[in-house]
Amino acid sequence: MAVDIQGDRQSGQDVRTQNVTACMAIANIVKSSLGPVGLDKMLVDDIGDVTITNDGATILKMLEVEHPAAKVLVELAELQDREVGDGTTSVVIIAAELLKRANDLVRNKIHPTSIISGFRLAMKEAVKYIEEKLSVKVEKLGKDSLINCAMTSMSSKIIAGDSIFFANLIVEAVLAVKMTNARGEIKYPIKGINILKAHGKSARDSFLLKGYALNTGRAAQGMPLRVSPARIACLDFNLQKTKMQMGVQVLVTDPRELEKIRQREADMTKERIEKILKAGANVVLTSKGIDDMALKYFVEAGAIAVRRVRKEDLRHVAKATGATVISTFADMEGDETFDSSSLGQAEEVVEERVADDDVIMIKGTKNASAVSLILRGANDYMLDEMERALHDALCIVKRTLESNTVVAGGGAVEASLSVYLENLATTLGSREQLAIAEYAESLLIIPKILAVNAAKDATELVAKLRAYHHTAQTKADKKHLSSMGLDLLKGTVRNNLEAGVIEPAMSKVKILQFATEAAITILRIDDMIRLVKEEGQED
């Protein structure tokens, strides 16, 4: 008996073509934003908010993508953003190109399974080749390499003109948060770098502050401007008049008792504050509110209280100062206690004026050192895009420091791998040969698009680039040519390692791995069934 499924079913070539078309459409959107001369996109959402950006992940996140295969690419960009922090545009473009070429192979009667195993093999070989032949240890290049990595990452962003200035800020910020974890590994938790945006002045007036800056002022004017040394309490509850919980009823028979209840409500908060102050706290940060009545206790005690601190900031401050975020005073016995061991320590807490705002600076924190980048810029769009650009660059510097290896940028790696994989393909006598050859061809899409975006002759440049890399791989004395990449401003080919256009090797490896996996995932699909809800069935 045939089961009747309500819905439509497409299978075989139709689905593949449809999926590839959807993915190409996504790639075409971000394509023009790749590279140092890439253009920005302006996205307007349904309530009219404008975002101007050329960060691949941000663009794709803002798009309302309906097609299921295209969604895979959007998630791919997000994954790249989480894992590496930069290279989101490249990963989408490579994945779409791999798909397009795989689709052509399937049309030519090559089974998808053969293509998939070919792609997997190509990816493994490519990653091995990057790690063994193309990557250079950072020690050889020194501190400049970090600055160059940051500049390469920012070259395609809005702040490219000031990239030297920002690269120095970024490297300084990342080095400032250096810490060694329990296993003795050196880590750079870039979450400890707080980015504050302040209107006014130009981008070059941005600066780095030693200490974690909170974008709020003191809760009352009577409080001191600086406290040193600071003992910090991080709270996650209200310091307002205590109200009864929902559903708790108090039945009053005598109206005179009402005043007592009110008084007790006020006293409870007072007792809580006294407990905090008694434990030795002289800085209190809370993510909720503090009553005006409660503020006077802090003013009298000469402590700084800050209300409505962002949860995220609270967590970072707690981590940096060694405090514990307290969400309730209740202990196991049902009494209310506050232990001084949950206080964090810092050398000083000061309120400073940055731009036109008051900010609370927490300096000399106990555990990890925290720094803040104060960005200045003309308007919100500019500042938001600067923040995204700095996030990418911070991630790249962190990855470079942690993995210690870099590769030449500007299409050098892709061209080199393309030549290498093409030669590798011709040595294989199996069906994977064609798939690997197509994989090699797909990688050239990066230098091609870079050249097209720079309004240069792509065909000629890519041909030159491949010629150099072919020489580098065939002649033993010409190995140094393997870092030849594009100079997009002049439209020539140059040695990008010497020119300082470099990226962390890990970034390239992840791009290849993620793009290949995404392409394979979509390539495996040969049937799409859309179910339609039956009438009469309620959710």
| pLDDT reported for residue 99 | 92
Residue 96 has pLDDT above 80, yes or no: yes
**Coil, strand, or helix at residue 51?**
strand
- Nearest one of 166, 195, 122, 182 to 442, comparing CA atoms: 122
| pLDDT reported for residue 515 | 92
pTM: 0.81
Q: Which of 40, 86, 313, 392 is catalytic?
A: 392
In the block, tokens 């819905």 appear at 7
DSSP code, position 290: B
Residue 304 has pLDDT above 70, yes or no: yes
How high does pLDDT run on average in the chain? Answer: 82
For residues 504 and 182, what is the distance between their CA atoms, to the nearest angstrom?
A: 25
Where do the structural domains in the chain lie, given as residue ranges? 212-368
55 is catalytic: yes
Level-2 CATH architecture, domain 212-368: 3-Layer(bba) Sandwich (3.50)
pLDDT digits (tens, 9 = 90+) for 240-256: 766 666 777 777 777 77
Residue 406 has pLDDT above 70, yes or no: yes
Sign of CA dihedral 327, 329, 331, 334: negative
Q: Which of 40, 55, 313, 487 is catalytic?
A: 55
| pLDDT reported for residue 355 | 67
| pLDDT reported for residue 517 | 92
For residues 514 and 126, what is the distance between their CA atoms, to the nearest angstrom?
A: 13
pLDDT digits (tens, 9 = 90+) for 50-73: 888 888 888 888 888 888 888 888
Contact between 501 and 413 under an 8 Å Cβ cutoff? The reply is no
For residues 77 and 83, what is the distance between their CA atoms, to the nearest angstrom?
A: 10
pLDDT digits (tens, 9 = 90+) for 181-224: 777 777 777 777 888 887 777 778 888 877 777 777 777 777 77
89 is catalytic: yes
Residue 1 has pLDDT above 60, yes or no: no
Q: Which of 88, 152, 365, 516 is catalytic?
A: 88
For the chain, percent of residues with pLDDT exceeding 90 = 9
Higher pLDDT, 204 or 336: 204
Q: Which of 51, 53, 58, 89 is catalytic?
A: 89
321 is catalytic: no
